[in-house]
Structure 1
Amino acid sequence: MSAAPAAPAAPEGGTPHIRLALLGVMFGLLLSMLDGFIVGTAMPTIVGDLGGASLLSWVVTAYALTTAVSTPIWAKFGDLFGRKRMFQLSVAVFVAASVLIAAAPSMGLLIATRALQGIGAGGLAVGAFAVIGDLVPPRERGKYQGLTAIVVASGTIGGPLVGGFITDTLGWRWAFLINLPLGALTLVWVALALKLPAVRRQARIDWAGAGLLSVAIAALVLLTTWGGSEFAWVSAEGLGLVAMSALAGAGFVWRQHRAPEPLLPLGVFASRSFTMASIIAFTTGAVMFASVLYLPLFQQTVQGASASTSGLLLLPMMIPVVVVSQIAGRVMTRTGKYKIFPVIGAASTLIGALLLTTMTASTPSWVTAVFMIFMGVGSGLTQQMTTTIAQNSVEQRDIGAASGVVTLLRTLGGCIAVAVFGTVYTAHTNGLPAAALGNGVADSIQIIFATVAVVAACSLAAALAIKQLPLRGRPATPTAPAPVPVAATR
């Protein structure tokens, strides 16, 4: 097996060139962010047109399943065959699937093409963060951290607004066709502006490991999606999926210790900082899904906010995300210190979650908005910082794998949160008359955010355990890669 390539040299043109290249990568990240929120607003219209209401959950499940399963595979392929190439391929798959979805004549075909789109989505986020890891060393990452925060906020806030407008004016199929111009712009921009060494390492792909990991993830996602709705958590189906996930997971670990080129080098977990960052990624995914899904629901159901502007309801949380992530990034770049930020972020999330547990049916909307600021500060100080810490804790050759682990755990954290919190919400609101629905929603929100507070406490403990490592900077003199076939810069 050939040696790992050295850290990429600074692209010609310096900072302006990096910003130009990163903009193309951000277009790809925005592509997946917008799609996730646009589709949610279009779903009622899709069901009305195609029918198949009983299959509605599969539209979400198929996408989430293939996204989670493909994420670590995309990450490893990026390490082996070049991150730019794999990022471009994931964009192409995502856009092609979007066109097929828009042409779907039935719910069954729409679900199948959504599964294909999920495969592309699995490569978009992990590819974007891995490319950033190649392009910008951790010490300089703070200069560009605000770009990612703006994309996340834009997708979260703008997705529902854009989705509602497009569905109402042009029809639900255009909610997917809108991905075509943005995807084309991403492909062209990345092809022209992103310059990375095209590296191909001579190594065998661990297909057995990929299969075992896929089974473990698929069983877990299906359990969290169907548990409490399609079958009881403690049932033959539920226990069977638990056993399947556990056995496949154990088999995957066994395989990784023996594979000549493991899909996920388990040695990365020898770094305490990487392990703690992985834990924070999982908890952050759970916290964000709880906040994005259930706070607007509380504001609409209990406080009378308009559903048509649901994206705007998240502004008190998303504005702090953008502001504090930029501040933290600049301080990290200037000082080289970063541990303090996830500590403060987790603490802010804990405070916000505890405050949100006090909400009742009579809580005014401005109070909810104030509480949401604490959640936004927490997210802004943990989400991107977690990826930076994880990438800084591993060798350059394993940046793709590290990005894949963080992205996958964030996704799984969200999946589990949706399942658990959905069960809580249903238990407190199912069958209630309209007059009592507000109290039921308020009661469920209290329990949901009490659970979020426990999760945030775990995140705080992990943040405190992070070991402050020096942030890698860009080498003063670019080092030629070890004997690895390197094509011309692409």
Structure 2
Amino acid sequence: MTHRQIMEALSGLMLGMFVAVLSSTIVSNALPEIISDLGGGQSAYTWVVTASLLTMTASTPLWGKLADLASKKTLIQLSLVVFVLASAGAGLAQNTGTLIAFRAVQGLGMGGMAALTQIVIAAMISPRERGRYSGYLGATFAVATVGGPLIGGVITDTSWLGWRWCFYVGVPFAVAALIVLQKTLRLPVVKRDVKVDWAGASLIASAVSLLLIWVTLAGDTYAWASWQTAAMVGGSILLGLAFVLVESRASEPVIPLRLFRNRTITLTSLASLFVGVAMFGATVFLSQYFQLARGESPTMSGVLTIPMIAGLFLSSTVSGVLITRTGHWKRWLVTGAVLLTAGLGLLGTMRYDTAYWQLAVSMAVLGLGVGMMMQNLVLATQNQVEPGDLGAASSVVAFFRSLGGAIGVSALGAVLGHRVAGYVREGLAGIGVRQSGDGGGIPDLDTLPAPVRAVVESAYGHGVADIYLYAAPVALVALVLTLLIKEVPLRTTGGLQEAVARRTADETAAAGPDTVKTEPRTPAGAGTTTDAGPWGTLATAGSHRACSAASPPDGKNG
């Protein structure tokens, strides 16, 4: 594909990615008001985030496997439709239970968009050229990350809109992405028999869900050391073992276990798990810090996180361009892990009255680290697999990152709740005030007496800092894992180019040098079709056109 054709298709993919990230970040600054309005507490606050991460995590391997078997274009458009419907339902929610349920459905669509965007890019572009285009995705991630809280804050602070519009505002972007992808995305499809491993998908989803439910409820609904813990952890382990057994026998496994024989894939998957814990845990609770520890408005809470997003934008873009130019990627992973660990450690020292310039430096360091690691872990994995496993391998990295994020948000949310409650009790006792109720709700600072407000602000400042201290060692583990990864030179051919060439060679060898197997409508079909749309008739393309369309940009065709 020419650079122009790639950018046209990439614009639709970036819109889809923008929607997926926006849906997560736009509620961050609105959550305190949403939970207060719907009558929830810290547990509901955590679950609104965790629900979408849970379903996104559980569905990612299935989306990836389906991408290896069916039309990628159809799948990514389907994920957008699911997202739009769930967003409308979330905006209409009248209680936290309904909101959490629709957020879970949103996660299904988000999982598809997050996984399939990487897969489609890998299909179009060679690993060597993919760096700069991945940088564009990283920039989109940064814009959505900073734009989400800002948009959410403005919407929440605007009386004639209200927080419900935080869920409606993503719908036009999703519709626009659908239209753009329909007009610009043309992918040759190497036909394969579709046989989905539903048993494996159900088992991995159940195992992950049970584990995350345990992490969220432990220490709140029941003790960490209890029969409920034993039952849930034991059940999750049994489901995981059953998943491994089913996958080892499945003809088309959701997660091909043979992938983990590759050292790089194993290490990048584990690194993604720990990066997810640190990354999501670090960003989700910043809004609580700024609003409840520093008394800022939702809008200002978004503005104050700009240093982190600027760091992410800069590092993802620059590292992508330099990787394409030099072919070296490991140095960026290692540097990113160092910066991620350092940023978390620095944020662990903050309090409610810490000077903002110190926070800005810490957030910028954190953002630089995240930007260097997030896309490049996927790139390192995609460079190691055959075209037929591209979707599954890409989704494995996304799966472990989402799993880490869900575990991080759940576990660190539980830690935050307990830390804040303890600090509030100590603070109130120090000023001779007796606490009433269980203290599990999100406080409205404006209604509190000045001495009590100071106690609550200090408690949230100290409590949020504590979770960064818990996240820093997790990032350090990711650093160790990245050091163990062996750098492999990036390939210069895209996934679809390799797949089409291999299919054509196999058919030519089987049919003879003068005979080419054709599709019904095109004599030169060579076993490939072009995605013309998710429900219309697939228009066939000649083998030479298909191979050309799958070729990476070489600078000659502009």
Please give the TM-score of this superposition, normalised by the length of structure 1.
0.90
For 1:315, give the aligned amino acid: I
State the alpha-carbon separation in 1 of the partners of residues 171 and 222 from structure 2: 38
Residue 35 of structure 1 is matched in structure 2 by 23
- Tell me which of 98, 120, 123 is aligned to 1:131: 120
8 Å CA contact 1:198–1:486 kept in 2: the answer is: yes
Shift of 1:106: 6.2
The C-alpha deviation readout for 1:64-89, integer Å capped at 9, x for no partner, is 33222211111111111122221111
Residue 139 of structure 2 is matched in structure 1 by 150
State the alpha-carbon separation in 1 of the partners of residues 133 and 343 from structure 2: 27
8 Å CA contact 2:53–2:403 kept in 1: the answer is: no
Shift of 1:332: 1.0
Shift of 1:50: 6.3
8 Å CA contact 1:299–1:365 kept in 2: the answer is: no
Q: Secondary structure at the match of 2:27?
A: helix
Q: Tell whether 2:483 aligns with 1:464.
A: yes
8 Å CA contact 1:38–1:160 kept in 2: the answer is: yes
For 1:33, give the aligned amino acid: V
The C-alpha deviation readout for 1:118-144, integer Å capped at 9, x for no partner, is 222221111111111112221111222
Residue 479 of structure 1 is matched in structure 2 by 501
State the alpha-carbon separation in 1 of the partners of residues 266 and 91 from structure 2: 41
Count of residues in correspondence between the two structures: 478
Residue 221 of structure 2 is matched in structure 1 by 230
* Rg comparison, structure with higher value: 2
Shift of 1:19: 1.3
Shift of 1:53: 7.3
Residue 272 of structure 1 is matched in structure 2 by 263
Q: Secondary structure at the match of 1:230?
A: coil
Q: Secondary structure at the match of 1:473?
A: coil
Residue 444 of structure 1 is matched in structure 2 by 463
- Tell me which of 243, 261, 273 is aligned to 1:282: 273
Q: CA RMSD in A?
A: 2.6
The C-alpha deviation readout for 1:384-403, integer Å capped at 9, x for no partner, is 11111111122121111112
1:54–1:300 Cα change, 3 Å: closer
- Tell me which of 181, 189, 198 is aligned to 1:198: 189
For 2:111, give the aligned amino acid: G
Q: Secondary structure at the match of 2:501?
A: coil
Shift of 1:241: 1.2
State the alpha-carbon separation in 2 of the partners of residues 401 and 318 from structure 1: 30
Shift of 1:305: 4.2
8 Å CA contact 1:215–1:244 kept in 2: the answer is: no
Q: Secondary structure at the match of 1:289?
A: helix
- Within 5 Å, give how 1:5-404 maps onto structure 2: 11=1, 14-43=2-31, 56=44, 59-103=48-92, 109-167=98-156, 168=158, 169-303=160-294, 305-404=296-395
1:296–1:214 Cα change, 3 Å: closer
The C-alpha deviation readout for 1:202-256, integer Å capped at 9, x for no partner, is 1422121112111111111211222222222222222211111100111111111
For 1:466, give the aligned amino acid: I
For 1:452, give the aligned amino acid: A
Stretch moving more, 113-122 or 276-285: 113-122
Q: Secondary structure at the match of 1:198?
A: strand
Shift of 1:265: 0.6
The C-alpha deviation readout for 1:153-205, integer Å capped at 9, x for no partner, is 22221112212333433244433222321111101101111111134411422
Stretch moving more, 172-181 or 125-134: 172-181
1:154–1:436 Cα change, 3 Å: same
Residue 5 of structure 1 is matched in structure 2 by none
State the alpha-carbon separation in 1 of the partners of residues 43 and 317 from structure 2: 42
State the alpha-carbon separation in 1 of the partners of residues 340 and 172 from structure 2: 37
For 2:247, give the aligned amino acid: Q
The C-alpha deviation readout for 1:374-393, integer Å capped at 9, x for no partner, is 21111111111111111112
Gaps of 5+ in 2: 429-451, 508-525, 533-558
Shift of 1:422: 2.1
Stretch moving more, 240-249 or 472-481: 472-481
Q: Secondary structure at the match of 2:225?
A: coil
Stretch moving more, 147-156 or 305-314: 305-314
Shift of 1:151: 1.8
Shift of 1:472: 1.4
8 Å CA contact 1:82–1:199 kept in 2: the answer is: no
Please give the TM-score of this superposition, normalised by the length of structure 2.
0.79
The C-alpha deviation readout for 1:18-44, integer Å capped at 9, x for no partner, is 111111001011111111222344556
State the alpha-carbon separation in 1 of the partners of residues 390 and 169 from structure 2: 32
- Within 5 Å, give how 1:403-418 maps onto structure 2: 403-418=394-409
State the alpha-carbon separation in 2 of the partners of residues 142 and 201 from structure 1: 29
State the alpha-carbon separation in 2 of the partners of residues 163 and 299 from structure 1: 15
8 Å CA contact 2:153–2:300 kept in 1: the answer is: no
1:170–1:301 Cα change, 3 Å: closer
1:263–1:238 Cα change, 3 Å: same
Shift of 1:480: 5.8
Shift of 1:48: 7.0
Shift of 1:439: 4.1
Gaps of 5+ in 1: 1-10
8 Å CA contact 1:94–1:116 kept in 2: the answer is: yes
1:173–1:391 Cα change, 3 Å: same
State the alpha-carbon separation in 2 of the partners of residues 144 and 270 from structure 1: 29
Stretch moving more, 171-180 or 344-353: 171-180
For 1:156, give the aligned amino acid: T
For 2:57, give the aligned amino acid: A
The C-alpha deviation readout for 1:341-382, integer Å capped at 9, x for no partner, is 111111122222333333345531111211222211111111
8 Å CA contact 1:292–1:314 kept in 2: the answer is: no
State the alpha-carbon separation in 1 of the partners of residues 37 and 408 from structure 2: 30
The C-alpha deviation readout for 1:445-477, integer Å capped at 9, x for no partner, is 443233222112211111111111121112799
Stretch moving more, 336-345 or 159-168: 159-168
Residue 431 of structure 2 is matched in structure 1 by none
